[in-house]
Structure 1
Amino acid sequence: MARSIGQPVSRVEGVDKVTGAARYTADTPIEGPAFAVLVQARIPHGRITADSMAAAAARAASAPGSIFVLTPLNCPVLHTLPEDMTWDLPLERRPPLSDLTVQHVGQHVAMVVADSPENATYAASLMTFDYEASPAQLSAGQVLTEPAVPDAGSVRHGAYRPDHFVKLTEEKLQDHRGPATEPAGVRIESTYRTPINTHYPIELSATIARWEGDDLVVHDCTRWITGERRALAAYLGIAEDRIRILSPLVGGAFGSKSFLWMHVVLCAVAAREVGRPVKLVLTRDQMYTSTGHRPRTEQTIRLVADEAAAIVSTEHHTLTETSTVAHFCEPAGLSTRFLYRSPRMIVSHEVARINAPTPCFMRGPGEAPGLFALEVAMDELAAATGQDPLQLRMAHVTDRDQTNGRPWSAADLTLCYQTGARRFGWDDRPSAPRSLVRNGVQVGWGMATATYPGRRMPASCSVETLPDGHVRFSAATHEVGTGVRTVMTQVAADTTGLPLDRVSFHSGDSYFPDAPYSGASQTTATVGSAVYAAAREWTRRLGTRTFPTDGADPELAAELTFTVTSDGAPETGAVSQSFGAHFCEVEVDEMLGRATVTRWVAVMDCGRVLNPKLAANQVMGGITFGVGMALLEQMPHDPTTGAPLGEYYVPTHADRPDFDISFLEHPDHELDPIGVRGIGEIGVCGVPAAIANAIHHATGKRLRTLPIVCEDLLEPDLGGES
């Protein structure tokens, strides 16, 4: 029997995607739809007058083709979400259109439904309002220095210190271990800043809602169909089993489609009010304010080393931001708690509530901005102690999780360092900055560590054996462009012993057995375990019989049709954590103020690799994501109004370095029976720091604020900092 696991199998939906046959939410054919357009607030804080809202609605209602105008004045009462969905997840406490108050620029304040997208857009443009403006707090600095603003129900102000990251109570956001006082030694202390980043997926968020009697069907580009179903049911006050969510393919997300956003609720309400399907596609500008973002961070790191260059104290303090209507904390210090050996450890996070849209997870939440700060700080400590940056890191590798004392499972960070350094040629790196020049431009070499947790949650999978001899596996998970359908098909085929063309995997329907959100790099370990269990059970039921190649008889097909459930990660034993090492080369043209990443070596320890083509693809994508974070991406805002300004730049093929990606291939059977850990997010972790460290090696400038822009790179200035 030919095995497919470990082989570079092409995506099972690849042909459909490249030929245009693949169907995304906005492509879904619907009979007789109406079209919706959102109307958004243009001030950061205040109230819309009731008279102006009524007048604006009347203007929109009288526009050509207008069918319905949904406003706070006529919106049916929506329920508040249960506390367990809002207190440590970025789901909004305040239902949409619940009143006339405004909490941020871009808040949804009305929805226009018309007979065509063009007529809906025109009608929406007629909705202008009179505002009663209130003072706005647009930054964490304002929140911490200005007089306290009183809370008003679900709207909250001020700053707070959350205990843990989302539902992961063991991932503490406030942590203090070791001596109370800082020991003496070589000390470095710096502050690092990261900007607002936006997800910018190719596929715009889209929703189609239709009612079939008292049942709601929603086509949506979401990565958590079961969670969206629960949240929708709570907002609408109906039973979950009356809602079906369909999301067959998602065209990129990076976190922006992990939760139910307010436009989905409003689309469902509008469809019920007009008695026909309603289709809504957000504009690119609306996605900046409607589907989350990575919030700003200000991180202060203090490292102390003794006379032998051993770290004796580590502190990492993060100040970040969320909205006034939802909780989210960018957990920048989580990796610092365990990555390098340190007898004294203090990590803290403070979150300021500002008048801005709700932030959320973005690829590598916490690790992406947090490792930028930590890994640049490690290079600063290496310079202060006269150590090679790689050797300093290798000297502080731990064999266990410092937060709980449990050993790592199937992890070898040291081998990642050694393999990457050899492949890159790190031994030839001169230690002094500005030592390398090529074709008249400065050249620098930098490196950084990557890490991301190995996660697994409970999941279920159904098996349906069809009369034609095809075996269909299904779970309510999602294909977000990472190759989930492909690797699940590989697992199912190899475990059952069937050829790939006799097996298929289906996802994206809330009627399928439950699975968690597709995020936190857990889908392969989580759903893959359920598929593996289902395939094993299929094989057990088949027993010694030979499965017929021309189809199964009805009795056998029924016997081989069932559903199984697999557990989550074990709560005891070794800890599953992925590690990796990034090495990069940059060229810096100081006359133009331009940095170009030319070469990249990455070695990843992510457990068993099911499909090397898809795995390398994921890491390349993550590194490219990190290149954008380091050199291009930021969402500037008007400091007085909070309105987004300018354009958002992302990397293109022209920004792609030459890649050398490899994996250690150490199966992690402590986490799951197929030995895998997630790959989707570790690729971006550490990338901005490796680039910043390489730029320091090229120019002598220590840059601590992202993105690194041309003004930072113009002209040699060995004492320059930012």
Structure 2
Amino acid sequence: MTTMDRVGQSVNRVEGGGKVTGAATYTADVVLPGQVHAALVQSEIPHGTVTADSLRASADRVAAAPGVLHVLTPLNCPPLHALPDDLTWDLPLERRPPLSDLTVQHVGQHMMLVVADTWENATAAAALVELDYEPLPATLDAHDVTEAPGGQDGPIRQGSYRPDHFVKLSEEKLQDRRGEPPTDGSVRMAARYTTPYNAHYPIELSATIAAWDGDRLTVHDSTRWIAGERAALAVYLGMSEDDVRVLAPLVGGAFGSKSFLWMHVVLCAVAAREVGRPVKLVLTRDQMFSSTGHRPRTEQDVVLIADDRGDILGTEHHTLTETSTVAHFCEPAGLSTRFLYQSPHLEVSHRTARINAPTPCFMRGPGEAPGLFALEVAIDELAHELGLDPLELRVRNHADRDQASGKPWSGKHLLDCYESGARRFGWADRPVTPRALRRDGVQVGWGMATATYPGRRMPASCRVVTAPDGTVQFASATHEVGNGVRTVMTQVAADATGLPLSSVSFESGDSDFPAAPYSGASQTTATVGSAVFAAASEWRRRVDELAGSSSPEDLLNVARAHHDRLSFVADSDAGDQEHEAFQSFGAHFCEVEVDEEIGRASVVRWVAVMDCGRVLNPKLARSQVMGGITFGLGMALLEQVPYDGETARMIGEYYLPTHADRPDFDVSFVDSTDYGLDPIGVRGIGEIGACGVPAAIANAIFHATGKRLRDLPITLENLMTPYRPPTSEEAR
């Protein structure tokens, strides 16, 4: 390899060998001396109060069980401090500390933690708990509180409210209006779209091991925000952040579920302090449905008004979603609508209802994934009304600037994505009329949708340590969540230093490393990559100053001789984001087969073309997009958390796509280095693969069957409903 070909090459994952051989260590694999085990007990009602007598009786019964060391309940839990507003007002961290009162706010709320010498004993003892409740009326539907005021203070809040912007991103407005409603539009399309309660379902269960050494706490956790977790833990426990260390070297999938401090982590730390030994807690799969977040339900009303030519004159996108009574989160479904298509008139709004349900949080493509389902199906419906090809309508209304901010795009090649994707797919041969394609006794349909997701960057730092043998270790408090961050950071470092890949390493997952933000929002490569690039460039500058040599062997010799002068920390800021808008784009094209007799929809072929800036590692980037498409396929056809509408308790199973559901993939990228956001020319790629996928599938199913399905997931009952041709009035 030459000096400049490390970036842009399909390098294998640096941690891949450990993962495929089973040698990789995840949180639940860690074993500490003297470690004991915990089991969680959860509530079984959505709203009410647990009786103190039943808590005492259950705690006494559990304490007498074999191997039990401690039982933590609301009656004996040491007082925990509430989080400050800056951690709860626009992030899904809970305002109420765990086990702080006897009220129950949702099914699955933590009621007790049992600590025992073995996992078996802890689990068996937890099964002895029998709690009595004084039930209260539960709010389980967002419509029940849409008119109720939502301005209450305190940790537990009711009613609904209209948040102004998405998390701490003040420019991403959740309430937006511009232009006057059109009066001359000849075609009006209005429809309601719904998405269900989705679960993250990562391979790795959430696991925590907490250990105290005097007043210093070390937490091994499956988290992808070690800095935020350290800060929140310190507040809850009333201690300095300097005395908290969080370790998460490898995270086995997250999709949003491991982005925040969840209540079981706090309780694990409290229990470890109480028993004076390390405590390990691994949530069950069922417990993760109610303890580590989810994508909340959405109801989205979309209105599109266009003229006869297909020029969009007005757009409305109104979202009703939900959060818990103890934390804030708003699924920002309308964000993409603000800029994706040219529209002189725009109205976007979001209302969040507080209901008796677990706290929701980010899930892959937060906002964009459910929001683009509604918008992109609506665009397809408008095209059908106008008698236009869906791709032609999108091209006709392409926005050359960011309408929301008025800024030019730092780089936008969406038209190239459309052109390349349509050519690779053979879109020109698509029949206009639905139900026109049939193969082997089943209906065949072609659909498409636009993908988009923001390009983001935040400040970060990187440590450089040069060893006496000349090898160089870069480290940052970021996370390897299975996306290949260690690999691409190694490539960036090798490229900027001029060293061979074998002489460079990148470490992550330790809060003692220099600061980095959470791994999410498709920002890690741009954010941490900028810090690694700054550190590697400074390393190379110092080497050149010392010797002026440039061959890899000369660099290694200088590093060996001056290793003590080549160890330091470099910082990177958020870059200049004032003058340009940063957004990634893409186009999805898919083919489905629908067997209406048995209600089966199969996605058989997929073409995706992405515009995400510079591609540092094509193999990893393609895998990311393939994974995102599979994620979106599950969202479209399979995934919803089943629960009883009266009791709010889960019933049934949660279905996910498998390899048998995998289409034939054709994934490519527009070659478009974008230095506007960061010095390595990248924009994020982790989220965009899932964005637009459910809409493309729904649009293809319409093309195959003539059935317009606006509710996810699309079920076999939907597909088996007999086709009814539109009446002449509907056709008009």
Q: TM-score range by the shorter chain?
A: over 0.9
Which residue number in structure 2 is paired with residue 60 of structure 1?
62
TM-score, structure 1 as length reference: 0.98
> Who is 2:125 aligned against?
123
What does 1:697-716 correspond to in 2, within 5 Å?
Answer: 697-714=703-720, 716=722
1:611 aligns with one of 614, 617, 632: 617
The one-letter code matched in structure 1 to 2:352 is: V
> In 2, distance between residues paired with 1:498 and 1:142?
62
| Residue of structure 1 equivalent to 2:81 | 79
Greater alpha carbon shift after TM alignment, 10-19 vs 405-414: 405-414
The yes-or-no answer on 1:500 pairing with 2:488 is: no
1:412 Cα deviation after fit: 1.0
State the Cα distance separating 1:185 from its structure 2 match: 2.2
Deviations 1:312-354 (A, max 9, x none): 0000000000000000000000000000000000000000000
Q: 1:399: how far off?
A: 1.2
Q: CA deviation at 1:716?
A: 3.8
Residues 412, 605 of structure 1: 8 Å contact kept = yes
Query: 1:550, CA displacement in angstroms?
Result: 6.7
Q: 1:153 offset after TM fit, Å?
A: 2.6
1:200 aligns to what?
A: 201
- Which of structure 1's runs of 4+ aligned residues deviate more than 6 A? 147-150
Q: Post-superposition shift, 1:572?
A: 1.5
Tell me how far 1:714 sits from its aligned partner.
1.0
- Structure 2 distance, partners of 1:156, 1:182, is 41
Aligned-partner Cα distance in 1 for 2:676–2:184: 37
Aligned to 2:730: none
Describe the superposition over 1:358-388 as per-residue Cα deviations: whole angstroms up to 9, x where unpaired.
Answer: 0000000000000000000001100111110
**In structure 2, distance between residues paired with 1:720 and 1:643:** 40
Counterpart Cα distance in 2 of 1:720 and 1:67: 68
Whether the 8 Å contact between 1:61 and 1:67 is mirrored in structure 2 is: yes
CA contact (8 A) 1:221 1:250 kept: yes
| Cα separation, 2, equivalents of 1:623 and 1:153 | 41
Equivalent residue, structure 2, for 1:343: 344
Secondary structure of the 2:146 match is helix
For residues 710 and 47 of structure 1, the distance between their equivalents in structure 2, rounded to whole angstroms, comes to 40
**1:591 counterpart residue number:** 597
Residue equivalent to 1:571: 577
Structure 2 counterpart SS, 1:688: helix
1:528 is paired with a residue whose SS is helix
**Which ranges in structure 1 are unaligned for 5 or more consecutive residues?**
none
Q: Which residue in 2 is equivalent to 1:632?
A: 638
- Give distance in 1, aligned partners of 2:40 and 2:334: 37
CA contact (8 A) 2:543 2:558 kept: no
SS at match of 2:171: strand
Distance 1:459 1:364 in 2: 23
* 2:570 partner amino acid: V
- Tell me whether 1:691 sits opposite 2:693 in the alignment: no
Match runs of 1:466-615 below 5 Å: 466-543=467-544, 544-546=547-549, 556-615=562-621
Would the alpha carbon gap of residues 149 and 576 (structure 1) be closer, same or farther in structure 2, given more than 3 Å must change? closer
Deviation at 1:144, TM superposition (A): 2.9
Q: Tell me if structure 1 keeps the 8 A contact 2:43–2:109.
A: yes
Question: Which string of whole-angstrom CA distances, capped at 9 and with x for unpartnered residues, describes residues 449-505 of structure 1?
Answer: 000000000000010000011100000000000000000000000110000000000
- 3-state SS in 1 of match to 2:562: helix
Q: Percent identity?
A: 69
- 2-side partners of 1:182 and 1:217: how far apart? 63
Superposition RMSD in Å: 1.5
3-state SS in 2 of match to 1:698: helix
* Aligned counterparts, 1:99-110, within 5 A: 99-110=101-112
User: Is residue 379–residue 389 contact of structure 1 (8 Å, CA) maintained in 2?
Assistant: yes
Q: Deviations over 1:145-177 (max 9, x none)?
A: 7x7799573100001000000000000000000
Aligned partner (choices 696, 710, 723) of residue 717 of structure 1:
723
Query: Counterpart of 1:288?
Result: 289
- For 2:502, the aligned partner's letter is D
TM-score normalised by L of structure 2: 0.97
- Displacement of 1:293 after TM fit? 0.1
Q: Number of residues paired by the alignment?
A: 720
Deviation (angstroms), 1:309:
1.6
Cα deviation for residue 555 of structure 1 reads 6.4
SS at match of 1:509: coil
Find the residue that maps to 1:324 and give its secondary structure: coil
Residue 370 (structure 2) aligns with: 369
1:88 counterpart residue number? 90
State the SS of the aligned residue for 2:392. Answer: helix
SS at match of 1:210: strand
- Partners of 1:88 and 1:165 within 8 A in 2: yes
Q: Is the 8 A contact 2:606 2:663 kept in 1?
A: yes
Task: Say yes or no: does 1:251 pair with 2:285.
Answer: no
How much has 1:576 moved relative to structure 2?
1.2
Q: 1:49 aligns with which of 21, 45, 51?
A: 51
* Number of the residue aligned with 1:185: 186
**Whole-angstrom distance in 2 between the partners of 1:694 and 1:148:** 41
* Residue 171 (1) aligns with residue 172 (2): yes
Q: Which residue of 2 aligns with 1:19?
A: 21
Query: 1:316-327 residue pairs with structure 2 within 5 A?
Result: 316-327=317-328
Q: Structure 1 residues 152 and 39 mapped into 2: Cα distance closer, same or farther (>3 Å)?
A: farther
Shift of 1:644: 1.2
Asked if the contact 1:702–1:720 (Cα under 8 Å) also holds between the matched residues in 2, the reply is no
1:413 maps to 414
- What runs of 5+ residues in structure 2 fail to find an aligned partner? 728-732
